[in-house]
Amino acid sequence: MPDTILMCHTIKIIMKKSGLACLFILLQSCVFAQLQGIVFGVENGTRTPIYQAKIRLKNAQTGTETDEKGRFELILPKALPDTLIITAFGFRNDTIEVTKNDRFTGLEINLYSEKMLDEVVVEIKRNTHYVSRLKPLYVEELGEGELKKAACCNLSESFETNATVDVSITDAVSGAKKIQLLGLDGIYTQMQMENIPFLNGLESSFGLNTIPGTWVESIQITKGTGTVVNGYESMAGLINVEFRKPSTMQRLYVNGYGNIMGRAELNVHGGQLIGKKWSTGTFVHASGMQQEIDRNEDGFRDSPLNKTLSLLHRWEYTGESFEMRFGVNAYADERAGGQLNSIANRYTANTTNRHLDAFAKTGFLFPKKKYQSLGVVYQFKTHQIEGRFGNRVFSGEENKGYVNAIYDGIIGSTTHKIKFGVSGVAQQLNQRLDTIDVNRTVITPGVFAEYTYVGTRLTAVAGARYDYQEVYGAQFSPRLHLKFTADEFTDIRLTTGKAWRLPNVIIDNSSLLATSKTWMLPANIQQETVWNSGVSIVRQLELFKRSASFSVDFYHARFGRQLVVDREQSVDTFFFRFQNKSSFSNTLQSEFSFSPVKVLTIRLAYKWMQVMGQYNGDIRQQIMIPNHRGLFNVAYASRNKRWEIDATFSLYGRMRLHDVHLPDGTVLHHQVSSRVPQVLAQITHHFKHFDVYVGGENLANFTQKDPIISSDDPYNAAFDATRVWAPILGTVIYGGFRYELKRKKSS
């Protein structure tokens, strides 16, 4: 441990004192030419950008892929000329000779539909998990294939094979789940659905359970503060969820799931084209569990009974100078946890959520000024929550409106890009706990600007935003992101920035209702602020003539002000306090991916977390946060693509536990958990139109003994169901199917 802390301290010093100097020296030492371009697909007389087109140099054996807008960047080797090979599924391959005269130039490449030729079969192996080399920020991409590696029944389970995001249950009775990024609670991670605010406010505790993974096309995870365009709340990072688009999604998709615990789920969605410019998609999700499970025989349900129904309907319009996406999303979720029905005067933990939101994105294009655009994002949502934990009753209501207008353009050339705009958030949030009311109405206007420099090896993004709240004051949020291409295989990124949020004191800590402790809330709510800085290195490798990749990153988050729940000062009271400059976190993560043979991919990851705060006057590690986590994932796909086998092993290190007051009056101090192994695996067989899969979770059958303190007397002052650091359920075997009816290609 001392060596690890010393290493992290050294990294911080390097970041502070010599990061920019090192970049300057590297820039002066040698310069590699960068080739940029955009790839279009031409079909029926129309051109559209091609996503994930393959760009490869024949002799240098280096390459890349295009992003969602068809753009690519490629470092040219010193040995020229070379042949650039461009391939994309459904289009005719093309080649271009690249000479020294093509250094620092941009290309516009047209690939023509293969319908003009005899039938051609193009085989492309797409990575389902990778770090984007095109983006200046460190963005981890999870594709559809990665989401199918596990049961992936809802959004919280989409991260089971991922080392960056940790998911855990908040307590032993409600079934609520939370995510952690950089060791920080999920409330500090900004959630977005296609760059629209998502699963925040009153949704934060139970919303993850209402979004099925089958709706999701991809997930982008950004560590640290994101760009100012996306808002002010990305204190630990940003998770953006891309849903399936009506214009490209299947005509019909059905997913059915069931497990041995009695949980069942059905997901149905489908898209339809209406003319040449309109398309629409409908998504339906229904799930439930009505079987009482009590494997540890403590009288409490190991998993709450639940019923969930979610609906999403969306539209797309695509014109020459105007684009629009809009839709509505609604869900109802009911959960009934606590003691079994057979127990008299039983303790219940029931929650009900009702949600409705409408969203729209409009884009104005300027055909004569192809590098300029104006986009406006709108959202309105309403959410109600009601719950009872034993004798404690809480409720909440939220009405929120959001608008974000963004102008995107260039200054002279595409080397200098500019974005600026205005945003506004109006929120009415009422929360009630027993006789305590915490109500507020806040209007937050904001302005922002961002400049991007795209050089041959250096990309720099500098931005700032100013937001104001009449009651809580103003916040200025500067941010800087640097991406340096050391060579054609290595990217180095530096990032720093400030972010802030206004805490929702009751719903942020709703899991603490599963105790008999008294809450001592602060007299005044204040804004939480943080400075988050990080450095990362991504390296593409070739081992034994096979592709591999390695990445390492370090992030330091220092809170200027944080709302901390002190559970150390008293065994019967939670003290909520705002602390100034006492809380911080350090996170170091490394990851290695390698395909020793074509049909096999392995991924190894290690993460070290130090999350500190002031508790009872001392700076201590936050409870239930492991210092270490390791992950090993292996994925096999047969040569005929019929069989897929995936397995993931995670090992969580020991965690500090909070002091507890036992029913006999004794107090347990300074306890530490055991290490927690987690094993999950899945086998999938692909038929022509449908898949069949079977798998298991917690195959090591590791469970926490006695997760509930005073479970035999839940109305006792010692009752505590929040000391959960390991799974409560043992091994869970599941099975299911996927049926897919793809859209027919137009003739």
Contact 205, 169 (CB under 8 A): no
* Distance between first and last Cα of the chain: 64
Q: What's phi and psi for 527, nearest 5 deg?
A: -80, 135
pLDDT in tens, 677-731: 999 999 999 998 899 999 999 999 999 998 999 999 999 989 999 999 999 999 9
> Of all helices (H) and strands (E), which one includes residue 19?
helix 19-29
Report d(CA 314, CA 242) in Å as an integer: 13
Contact 30, 490 (CB under 8 A): no
For 120-133, letters b (16+ CB in 10 Å) and e give: eeeeeeebbbbbbb
Contact 102, 35 (CB under 8 A): yes
- Given this model, what pLDDT does residue 27 score? 38
Q: Cα angle at 458 between 454 and 460, to 5 degrees?
A: 65
SS3 content of the chain, % helix, strand, coil (to 5): 10, 55, 35
Report d(CA 237, CA 369) in Å as an integer: 33
Beta bridge partners of 242: 218
Report d(CA 495, CA 594) in Å as an integer: 27
AA letter at 528: E
Contact 555, 223 (CB under 8 A): yes
Radius of gyration of the chain, Cα coordinates, nearest whole angstrom: 26
Report d(CA 467, CA 232) in Å as an integer: 8
- Given this model, what pLDDT does residue 68 score? 78
Instruction: Characterise 54 by phi-psi region: left (phi > 0), alpha (psi -120 to 50), beta (else).
Output: beta
- CA 99, distance to chain mean position in Å, is 41
- Given this model, what pLDDT does residue 104 score? 55
Q: Which one, of 11, 1, 168, lies nearest residue 627 by Cα?
A: 1
Q: For the chain (length 747 residues), average pLDDT per consecutive 10?
A: 40 40 38 73 81 87 84 81 88 83 72 63 59 87 83 80 91 91 94 93 91 92 94 95 93 95 95 94 96 94 96 94 95 96 93 97 86 94 96 96 96 92 97 93 98 93 97 96 92 97 94 92 94 96 88 97 92 91 96 93 97 92 95 94 95 93 82 95 93 95 94 92 94 95 68
Q: What is the DSSP letter of 672?
A: B
Contact 151, 697 (CB under 8 A): yes
AA letter at 447: V
88 three-state secondary structure: coil
| Burial of 82 (C-beta count, 10 Å sphere; 0-12/13-18/19+) | buried
Report d(CA 448, CA 138) in Å as an integer: 21
Torsion of CA 558, 561, 565, 566, to 10 degrees: 80
Contact 682, 592 (CB under 8 A): no
Report d(CA 727, CA 724) in Å as an integer: 8
pLDDT in tens, 408-446: 999 988 899 999 999 999 999 999 999 889 999 999 999
| Burial of 440 (C-beta count, 10 Å sphere; 0-12/13-18/19+) | middle
- Given this model, what pLDDT does residue 160 score? 86
568 three-state secondary structure: coil
Q: Which one, of 147, 145, 151, 149, lies nearest residue 734 by Cα?
A: 151
Instruction: Characterise 689 by phi-psi region: left (phi > 0), alpha (psi -120 to 50), beta (else).
Output: alpha
Selecting from 1.10.150.120, 2.60.40.1120, 3.30.70.360, 3.40.50.880, what CATH number does the domain 31-124 have?
2.60.40.1120
Report d(CA 145, CA 139) in Å as an integer: 17
Q: Is the dihedral of CA 400, 380, 237, 20 positive or negative?
A: negative
647 three-state secondary structure: strand
Domain residue spans of the chain = 1-30, 31-124, 130-741
pLDDT in tens, 18-47: 443 343 333 333 444 568 888 988 887 678
281 three-state secondary structure: strand
Q: Which one, of 418, 459, 541, 538, lies nearest residue 27 by Cα?
A: 459
Q: Edge-to-edge strands of the sheet including 129-131?
A: 129-131, 139-142, 216-223, 237-243, 189-193
Report d(CA 439, CA 441) in Å as an integer: 7
Within this chain, domains 31-124 and 130-741 share the same CATH topology: no
Whole-prediction pTM value? Answer: 0.84
AA letter at 385: I
302 three-state secondary structure: coil
DSSP assignment of 158-191, as one string?
GGTT-SSEEEEES-SSS--EEEEETTEEGGGEEE
Contact 135, 100 (CB under 8 A): no
Q: What's phi and psi for 229, nearest 5 deg?
A: -65, -35
Tokens at 441, concatenated: 């109405």
Tokens at 245, concatenated: 């688009």
DSSP assignment of 199-245, as one string?
S-GGGTTTGGGGS-GGGEEEEEEEESS--GGG-S--SSEEEEEEEPP
Q: Cα angle at 108 between 106 and 109, to 5 degrees?
A: 130
- Given this model, what pLDDT does residue 487 score? 87
For 670-690, letters b (16+ CB in 10 Å) and e give: eeebeebbbbbbbbbebeeee
Q: Is the dihedral of CA 563, 569, 571, 575 positive or negative?
A: negative
pLDDT in tens, 190-222: 999 999 999 999 998 899 899 999 999 999 999
Say which residues have a Cβ less than 8 Å from residue 108's Cβ, sequence separation at least 6: 37, 38, 40
Contact 549, 538 (CB under 8 A): yes
CATH number for the domain formed by residue range(s) 130-741:
2.40.170.20
> Of all helices (H) and strands (E), which one includes residue 739?
strand 732-741
- Please give the sequence-ordered ranges of beta strands (E in DSSP) within 488-627, or none if there are none: 490-501, 518-520, 528-543, 546-566, 573-580, 584-597, 600-615, 618-621
